[in-house]
Amino acid sequence: MADRSQWIPLTAAVRPFSVGLDLGGTNIKAGLVDDEGRTLAYHTEPTEVARGPEDVAARLGGCVATLAALAGIEPGEIATVGLGTPGPQDLASGVIHDAGNLPGFENFPIRDRVSAHCDHAVTFANDATAAAYGEYWIGSGRDLASMVFWTLGTGIGGGVVIDGVCLEGHHSHATECGHIIVDTSPEARLCPCGQRGHLEAYASATALVKSARGAVHAGLGTRLATVAAAGEPITPIVIAREAKAGDETAMELILEAAGWLGIGTVNLMHIIDPEGVVLGGAMTFGREADPIGRAFIERVRQEVRDRAFPLLAEQTTIRYATLGGDAGYIGAAGLARAAGRGG
Amino acid sequence: MADRSQWIPLTAAVRPFSVGLDLGGTNIKAGLVDDEGRTLAYHTEPTEVARGPEDVAARLGGCVATLAALAGIEPGEIATVGLGTPGPQDLASGVIHDAGNLPGFENFPIRDRVSAHCDHAVTFANDATAAAYGEYWIGSGRDLASMVFWTLGTGIGGGVVIDGVCLEGHHSHATECGHIIVDTSPEARLCPCGQRGHLEAYASATALVKSARGAVHAGLGTRLATVAAAGEPITPIVIAREAKAGDETAMELILEAAGWLGIGTVNLMHIIDPEGVVLGGAMTFGREADPIGRAFIERVRQEVRDRAFPLLAEQTTIRYATLGGDAGYIGAAGLARAAGRGG
């Protein structure tokens, strides 16, 4: 929501207002949203992890006043504040345990430090869960009673919302959907978490790029070899570009990742049985607007038709997310709003 | 609870009272329980599916009066009635869709027909979910805030209870845990549901017996071959008996099934993250009291240690159920009791 023209004017906004804070390894995103989830003001800045957790917490807390100023309201007019951070964390105590892409944040009480810096109680959530809630509240899942959400990017995360309630887990580890076991063979791939056969090792951007490099090294006749020879980094965007240009290997790699994602989706459907499944995150190939995005989601749907109970395959909608990178702060704000109403 | 000496006397019972009905392919089990889940009266009779769904519904409804008479109370003193039936069913409308072991019950409105026959509103549940709730309420999971439950038998079912609420699913198909995909290889085993690689094809009693027969046919030096040659049917009980007598093949088959169950358990832990996992159903090998039961659950725990997030493997308790065949009616009664209190 970097484009101010998309912000709604204060006169059109419905109170109470909430702030959502989305802490990522690269950027902080912060938004002020109204009671219908519409953005009144947005602010982003680099996380600069190296400045340390207390500095980051101070700047996160400072976003509340920044957003109020941008929207032309007093900070006191903000009813609730929500914060989403990468896991694993302990939701009850508001502590980040061991965040891979936030070095130095181990066991840092982020919720209470942000709260101290903005003088608001802070509702704390996993970032993928916050994004799931954002899509559920006003995005792709706004017509769904229950929803499974995938965040497809460098890693794979997930969130589950059922009748407005997010699945959090007893140890704050629910919906670690990238770590569903999809390959139990002895030659199963190694997941960044250290275990074997997890979905993240098959369907994440990292896994896709690794497979593409493997294809290049194997000497398969692929345009990706030309890309690599020219010194251009192989990324999911490049792989999709070459697939669109007719490279069969690139297309196969994308569809293979989609197939694994479909297997993970079947497992979620047989456990959660949501009304719908929403695919979000950076690795969504231009979504339905792009032929590669269409082929990707169609392959997920095909895998579901091939492997799920027919009734579920028929009746469970599978679609892309619509809020893009805004889902996290909107969802964090929405969770704070819901908590403010007593859940 | 066929042993009357285990029933609590009316004078010790806490009101309100609930009836739980558990419809199985072979037997109907019905119990009258007090507000603490203790059984005041119990009745069982053969289902006799061939008599047709209306006859079965009439006899299920009749259990309410039978139980009242057994306990020495008026039927009007029963506050709520709950019913668990095999799936797939539609919970909202109270209809059995397509029950494999209840031929003739397709699309039968079991909930409303039982209700008509006992003149009570009936709370309707999946049988595995009802059993899960029974264990959660007063059984093995009574100290757990959230719980994943396995029913291990001819097939594999499951149930999930989180803070007293059962996961039902948008299409009444949540926790079809026997149909988690555990083998994605081309040679994956065929599940009775018609799909390949589902857990039920690897860890159910049916799968275990099939593996044992395979070992016999393969000419492995196993005592099970002697059993088969003597015309004795190979059952999980017989396989466990031979394992206990020192047959290595029999033991390996049991541990192999446990390993697959462990993989399914890891997937549930990474999605639901319950406080505990409870193993119930007929195929629990004498539980902790038996060396085979101990080896079986220890193998599940080992697989979890090998494949789950270390924090979850450490902190998630894995244990056997304690209510045995009573879990279903107790849970159905408990769900009715909870619904009567407004959920």
B4-127+325-340 domain in CATH 3.30.420.40? yes
User: How far apart are the C-alpha atoms of B188 and A169, rounded to whole Å?
Assistant: 31
What local confidence, expressed as pLDDT, does residue A98 receive?
77
pLDDT band at residue B342 using 50, 70 and 90 as cut-offs:
low
DSSP letters, A257-303, are HHHHHHHHHHHHHHHT--SEEEEESS-STTGGGSHHHHHHHHHHHHH
Q: 3-state class of B35 per DSSP?
A: coil
Length of chain A: 343
* Minimal C-alpha gap between B58 and chain A (Å): 30
CA-nearest of B255, B250, B257 to B221 is B250
pTM of the model: 0.95
Q: Which residues of A touch B169 (CB under 8 A)?
A: 146, 272-274
Q: Are A311 and B211 in contact (CB under 8 A)?
A: no
What integer best gives the mean pLDDT of chain B? Answer: 95
Q: Which of A129, A156, A271, A318 to mutate to test the interface with B (most CBs of B within 10 A)?
A: A271
Structure tokens at A175: 């919906």
The 3-state secondary structure of B108-119 reads ECHHHHHHHHHC
Q: 3-state class of B167 per DSSP?
A: coil
ipTM at complex level? 0.95
Measured between CA atoms, the residue of chain B closest to residue A166 is: B272
User: How far apart are the C-alpha atoms of B216 and B208, rounded to whole Å?
Assistant: 12
| Same fold yes or no, B4-127+325-340 and B140-322 | yes
Nearest to B270 among A180, A270, A315 (CB): A180
Structure tokens at A301: 């749907």
What local confidence, expressed as pLDDT, does residue B219 receive?
86
Residue-wise pLDDT tens digits, B257-315: 999 999 999 999 999 999 999 999 999 998 999 999 999 999 999 999 999 999 999 99
DSSP letters, B280-341, are ESS-STTGGGSHHHHHHHHHHHHHHHHHS-HHHHHH-EEEE-SSGGGHHHHHHHHHHHHHHT
> Of the ranges A99-108, B64-73, B118-127, which one carries the lowest mean pLDDT score?
A99-108
pLDDT band at residue B99 using 50, 70 and 90 as cut-offs:
low
Distance set, CA A326 to CA A323, B80, B226 (Å):
5, 47, 67
User: How far apart are the C-alpha atoms of B308 and A175, rounded to whole Å?
Assistant: 13
User: Residue B319: beta bridge partners?
Assistant: B278
pLDDT band at residue B333 using 50, 70 and 90 as cut-offs:
very high
| B187, HSE (Cβ side, Cα atoms, 13 Å) | 2
Q: Which residues of A touch B193 (CB under 8 A)?
A: 309
Q: Which residues of A touch B266 (CB under 8 A)?
A: 181
Q: Which residues of A touch B307 (CB under 8 A)?
A: 181, 195-197
Indicate yes or no: CB of B272 within 8 angstroms of CB of A268.
no
How many cross-chain Cβ pairs, A to B, lie less than 8 Å apart? 132
CB atoms within 10 A of CB A44: 17
Nearest to A267 among B145, B174, B181 (CB): B181
Indicate yes or no: CB of B273 within 8 angstroms of CB of A181.
no
What is the enclosing helix (H) or strand (E) of B219?
none
**Domain coordinates in residue numbering, chain B:** 4-127+325-340, 140-322
Distance set, CA A8 to CA A34, A42, A73, A151, B338 (Å):
9, 11, 14, 27, 44
What local confidence, expressed as pLDDT, does residue A99 receive?
67
DSSP letters, B42-90, are EEEEE--GGG-HHHHHHHHHHHHHHHHHHHT--GGGEEEEEEEE-SSEE
Nearest to A309 among B170, B173, B184 (CB): B173
Q: Which of A126, A146, A150, A181 to mutate to test the interface with B (most CBs of B within 10 A)?
A: A181
> Of the ranges A87-91, A139-143, B95-99, B174-178, which one carries the lowest mean pLDDT score?
B95-99
Measured between CA atoms, the residue of chain B closest to residue A270 is: B176
Across residues B169-179, what is the average pLDDT?
95
What local confidence, expressed as pLDDT, does residue B343 receive?
54
CB atoms within 10 A of CB A17: 23
Q: A142-322 has which fold?
A: Nucleotidyltransferase; domain 5 (3.30.420)
Q: Which residues of A touch B275 (CB under 8 A)?
A: 170
> Of the ranges A116-125, A200-209, B123-132, B184-193, which one carries the lowest mean pLDDT score?
B184-193
Residue-wise pLDDT tens digits, A163-177: 999 999 999 999 999
Q: Which residues of A touch B107 (CB under 8 A)?
A: none
What integer best gives the mean pLDDT of chain A? Answer: 95
Nearest to B309 among A146, A160, A173 (CB): A173
Q: Are A324 and A131 in contact (CB under 8 A)?
A: no
> A4-135+326-340 is classed in which CATH architecture?
2-Layer Sandwich (3.30)
Across residues B232-236, what is the average pLDDT?
96
User: How far apart are the C-alpha atoms of B309 and B298, rounded to whole Å?
Assistant: 18
Q: Which residue has tokens 């082929």?
A: A295
Q: Which of A173, A191, A275 to mutate to test the interface with B (most CBs of B within 10 A)?
A: A173
What local confidence, expressed as pLDDT, does residue A342 receive?
67
Indicate yes or no: CB of A315 within 8 angstroms of CB of B171.
yes
Indicate yes or no: CB of A171 within 8 angstroms of CB of B307.
no
Nearest to B169 among A97, A193, A272 (CB): A272
Q: What is the CA radius of gyration of chain A?
A: 20
Q: How many percent of chain B have pLDDT more than 70?
A: 99
Structure tokens at A280: 């979000």
Q: B140-322 has which fold?
A: Nucleotidyltransferase; domain 5 (3.30.420)
User: How far apart are the C-alpha atoms of A136 and A140, rounded to whole Å?
Assistant: 7
